[in-house]
């Protein structure tokens, strides 16, 4: 059962090992909330959803790109809503996009159901426009984008690569920068657009507490006052930086600050104070944002992609837990609770502070708040259908997301944020002229 869990000594298994160990917290806690109302779910949802014809959604979605509607978007919270059936999905398949890594290629590895692909996120008071790959690439022409975080961040990048294949396949230029397969860099020649991921599962500097490498659940040292240099050394050149972190904070952690142990999370050492994982999580974001704010030359827009919930049921990840559901939840059966809620609130708080601080320095911080939408998608994970062929598929992946799948929504949201940014800076310029 220790398969592939050592991310440090076995790069081949990087993605599997990227399965963080935080999952054991899910089942114990929201199980009640999760299952509550599940029976109601089938009855209510079906009626509810069928009432909304997808053709209506489709036709209005296509119109949303003029500035009137963008202005209306501003009054709409894109992140509160529900999933509606949508038959024209997905944007791509495992046949049309050959950039899906095995760990997330659920169809290739035998996932039998396809209904999980047939939903679109519908914000409560507006439409989320469809992803338009041309529009996206136009907006990022000549620019660069980095995903900094764990393998769920990489998961979003891979979704973006697939969404863009409709227009162009990127060139893999990773080898020019590193031989570590956890770091990828892609280049779109026609648009001079670069996209990269920087693997830093805790954002701050972290390493195994043991010289001989780590196992899945072994103690790690976190240096809470320093970010991981693998990303900070290169990030100043990027125009868009998407920060995320989550599940790696559930494992046992030793916290260092200014070179000294200040506490831990689940280290079970009676001489060291257990400060909980919340302490580490908060500090990691604080340090990350302040690093970005103080990097000479960094002019990028920083996005925070909020915590992405896992959905283990019937046991923790290492006790046979899995995620076999084939349908989304409605908002009524689940709510964020306990660790997940606390993580989310910590992110909100640190983001708000960063946003205010950033304003003083002319740096923009934007939130992509995907947590609520993803909480409703227990059906979107690889479960047993994403692993390397060489392992026995005894551990379910209920943390990452199938490609294609609901994670594609993150990039619909990202595009929308980019459009709104472009509109804002256009208006600003316009204002300058009209005032004159």
Ligand X SMILES: *[C@@H]1O[C@H](CO)[C@@H](O)[C@H](O)[C@H]1NC(C)=O
Min separation Cβ 319 and ligand X, Å: 12
- Catalytic entry in 7, 17, 151, 214: 151
Place of tokens 């310029």: 429
38 makes contact with ligand X (CB under 6 A): no
In whole angstroms, the minimum distance from the beta carbon of 321 to ligand X comes to: 9
**Nearer to ligand X among residue 19 and residue 301 (C-beta):** 19
Q: CA-CA distance, 330 to 340, in Å (whole number)? A: 18
Closest to ligand X by CB, 169 or 187: 169
Phi and psi for 164 in degrees, rounded to 5? -85, -10
Closer to ligand X by CB, 25 or 287: give it.
25
For residues 67 and 299, which CB has a smaller minimum distance to ligand X in the complex? 67
For residue 95, state whether it binds ligand X (rule: CB under 6 A).
yes
Q: Could you say whether residue 392 binds ligand X (CB under 6 A)?
A: yes
| 179 is a contact residue toward ligand X (CB under 6 A) | no
151 belongs to the catalytic site: yes
Q: d(Cα 366, Cα 418) in Å, to the nearest integer?
A: 10
Which helix (H) or strand (E) element contains residue 225? strand 220-227
Q: Distance between CA atoms of 150 and 102, rounded to whole angstroms?
A: 17
What CA–CA distances, in Å, run from 386 to 101, 103, 322, 329?
Answer: 9, 4, 13, 22
**d(Cα 56, Cα 162) in Å, to the nearest integer?**
26
Q: Where are the alpha helices (DSSP H) in 5-127?
A: 14-17, 24-28, 31-35, 38-50, 54-63, 67-74
Stretch that binds ligand X, among 233-241, 287-295, 348-356, 390-398 (CB under 6 A): 390-398
Q: Which is nearer to ligand X, 224 or 402 (CB)?
A: 402
- Shortest spacing between CB 313 and ligand X, in angstroms: 5
Is 144 catalytic? The answer is no
User: How many angstroms separate the Cα of 204 from the Cα of each of 95, 306, 343?
Assistant: 37, 17, 16
66 touches ligand X by CB under 6 A = yes
For ligand X, give the closer residue by CB, 110 or 213.
110
Contact status: 115 vs ligand X (CB under 6 A): no
Among 51, 68, 360, 389, binds ligand X (CB under 6 A): 68
Q: Is residue 397 flagged as an active site residue?
A: yes
Binding status of residue 258 toward ligand X by CB under 6 A = no
With CB under 6 A as the contact rule, the residue among 11, 29, 49, 108 that binds ligand X is 108
| Distance separating alpha carbons of residues 375 and 349, to the nearest angstrom | 20
Q: Supply 355's token pair.
A: 């946003």
Please say whether the dihedral angle defined by the alpha carbons of residues 216, 221, 227 and 232, taken in this order, is positive or negative. negative
Bridge partner residues of 16 (DSSP): none
Residues designated catalytic: 151, 397, 400
Binding site for ligand X (CB under 6 A): 63, 66, 68-69, 94-95, 107-108, 313-314, 322, 324, 390-392
């Amino acid at each position: 059962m220790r398969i592939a869990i050592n991310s440090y000594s076995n790069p081949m298994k990087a993605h599997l090992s990227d399965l963080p160990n935080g999952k054991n917290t899910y089942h114990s806690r929201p199980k009640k909330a999760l299952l509550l109302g599940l029976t109601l779910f089938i009855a209510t949802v079906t009626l509810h959803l069928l009432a909304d014809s997808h053709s209506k959604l489709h036709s209005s979605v296509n119109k949303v790109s003029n500035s009137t509607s963008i202005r209306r978007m501003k009054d709409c919270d894109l992140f509160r809503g529900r999933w509606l059936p949508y038959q024209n999905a997905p944007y791509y398949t495992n046949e049309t996009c050959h950039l899906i890594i095995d760990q997330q290629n659920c169809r290739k590895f035998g996932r039998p159901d396809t209904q999980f692909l047939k939903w679109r996120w519908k914000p409560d008071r507006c439409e989320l426009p469809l992803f338009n790959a041309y529009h996206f690439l136009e907006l990022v022409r000549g620019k660069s984008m980095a995903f900094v975080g764990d393998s769920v961040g990489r998961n979003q990048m891979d979704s973006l690569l697939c969404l863009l294949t409709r227009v162009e396949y990127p060139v893999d230029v990773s080898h020019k920068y590193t031989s570590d397969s956890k770091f990828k860099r892609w280049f779109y020649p026609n648009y001079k657009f670069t996209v990269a991921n920087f693997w830093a599962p805790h954002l701050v500097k972290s390493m195994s507490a043991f010289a001989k490498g780590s196992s899945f659940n072994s103690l790690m040292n976190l240096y809470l006052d320093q970010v991981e240099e693998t990303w900070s050394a290169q990030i100043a050149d990027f125009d868009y930086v998407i920060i995320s972190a989550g599940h790696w904070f559930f494992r046992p952690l030793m916290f260092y600050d200014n070179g000294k142990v200040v506490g831990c999370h689940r280290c079970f050492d009676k001489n060291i104070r257990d400060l909980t994982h919340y302490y580490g999580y908060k500090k990691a974001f604080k340090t990350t944002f302040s690093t970005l704010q103080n990097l000479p030359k960094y002019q990028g827009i920083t996005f925070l992609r909020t915590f992405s919930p896992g959905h283990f049921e019937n046991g923790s990840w290492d006790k046979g837990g899995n995620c076999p559901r084939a349908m989304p939840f409605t908002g009524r059966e689940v709510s964020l609770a306990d660790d997940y809620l606390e993580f989310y609130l910590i992110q909100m708080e640190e983001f708000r502070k960063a946003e205010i601080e950033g304003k003083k320095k002319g740096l923009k911080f934007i939130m992509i708040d995907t947590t609520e939408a993803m909480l409703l998608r227990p059906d979107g994970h690889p479960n047993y259908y994403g692993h390397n062929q060489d392992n026995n598929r005894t551990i379910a992946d209920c943390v990452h997301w199938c490609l294609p799948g609901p994670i594609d929504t993150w990039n619909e949201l990202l595009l929308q944020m980019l459009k709104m940014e472009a509109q804002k800076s256009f208006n600003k310029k316009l204002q300058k002229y009209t005032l004159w």
